[in-house]
Amino acid sequence: MSVYKPFITSDVIVSPFKVNKSFTFKGNELTGSNVEIDRYIGRNITSSLWVSGSYPTGHITTQDEILVYRSIKELYYSNYLTNPSGSPAGTASFNTDGTITGPAYTTNYYNYLSTTLPTYRYIPTESNAAIGVISIPSNLFGEYLNPGTVSISNGNITITDDGLGNMISGSLKFGDVIYEHGIITITSTGVTGVDDGYGYITYGSGLYGGATFNFINGFINGNNVTCSFQSTTTIYETQYKCTIRQNEFNFSQNPTILGLLDQGYDIDYYNEVLTYEDDAIYDGYDSPTSTTDIYPWATGSYFTPYITTVGLYNNNKELLAVAKLAQPLPISSVTDTNIIINLDL
């Protein structure tokens, strides 16, 4: 039989699973060429016409403060401009009896919420209001930031995420984290929140105050800023089931079964020391006469080889991977033998 045996569809199972890796960067490490975590000031400048390049911000790539503010507001806060619990949008209700009543209020835009529980977000909208934005590149956070692992510090205060998208310190909320985009926002100097029993923070009207520029600037332009998080990515584990039938692979490829038994030499045979004299014959078998001869004990039906290594080949018989067993495994002569190989990619 052939040394190679092809897999069938049922022999291969691909299983995805999530893995995480922790990162911590401090000070100048954030903007290093192998990290490139950028930080921006966003500002709601309404006092003059916007001129490109008038208000530059950023440590790695230069953006405009006005455009940073407008982009963040549109992407993540457009449902929360008039109310931190969500700005209502009037929609009509079409009843089964043909009548139309309304309005029924619901949010209007997709703001990349991190939970289906009631969410509260705030962004200052007064003229010249400032926000801070920390942008983590996707090559670091993978598919998304692992909820509950994001933390930033300016040396005086540490803000962490609560796993639901809120950047908090104690009972105060300072901003939000968008896990799938690697974006951390600072939109407040801290407002008192109340745990409503579901683990998220709710806010009453009138509690918000715009984040002061000096507070935000400490996170965006400070030299003592630390950023920690865990990345998340999907690894695909491929499981190969190598089935050896009871009548397959029943001959060893170990070179020790080949050899020359010269007359006059002592050899171990079935753990006994046997001496071959001139023209001596043992159990009717002549001694092998060349290095390509197989020892008699390896040709009988009682002989069972052991498996130590399994190789995975492509269709061109090229070796792609090698699996080593922890200890030699004897092949059964009465039942099938299965070897499971897990390959993570």
For the segment 107-143, what is each residue's pLDDT rounded down to a tens digit? 568 899 988 888 888 898 888 889 999 999 999 999 9
Pair 70, 46: CB distance under 8 Å: no
Would you tell me how many other CB atoms lie within 10 Å of the CB of residue 81? 14
pLDDT at res. 117: 84
- Start-to-end CA distance of the chain, whole Å, equals 32
**pLDDT for res 291:** 46
Residue 253 in this model has a pLDDT that exceeds 90: no
Q: What is the mean pLDDT of the chain?
A: 79
Q: Measuring CA to CA, which residue among 332, 343, 149, 179 is closest to residue 249?
A: 332
Pure H helices in 77-161 = 138-141
Q: Would you list the domain boundaries of the chain?
A: 19-234
- Distance, CA of 34 to CA of 28 (rounded, Å): 12
Q: Which of 56, 13, 15 has the alpha carbon at shortest distance from 38? A: 56
Higher pLDDT, 144 or 203: 144
Burial of residue 40, with CB atoms counted within 10 A of its CB: 0-12 exposed, 13-18 middle, 19 or more buried: buried
Once rounded to an integer, what is the mean pLDDT over residues 57-75? Answer: 95
* pLDDT confidence of residue 60: 95
Mean pLDDT of the 176-181 span: 96
Look at 185-194, 227-236, 246-255 and tell me which has the smallest mean pLDDT. 185-194
The percentage of residues in the chain with a pLDDT greater than 90, rounded to a whole number, is 41
Higher pLDDT residue, 224 or 303? 224
Q: CA-CA distance, 218 to 216, in Å (whole number)? A: 5
Q: Does pTM top 0.75 for this prediction?
A: no
The answer to whether 95 touches 176, Cβ cutoff 8 Å, is no
A 10 A CB-CB count for 213 gives 15
pLDDT tens track for 198-214 = 343 333 333 333 457 88
pLDDT for 168 beyond 50: yes
**What number is the average pLDDT over the span 212-221?**
87
* Mean pLDDT computed over 181-198: 66
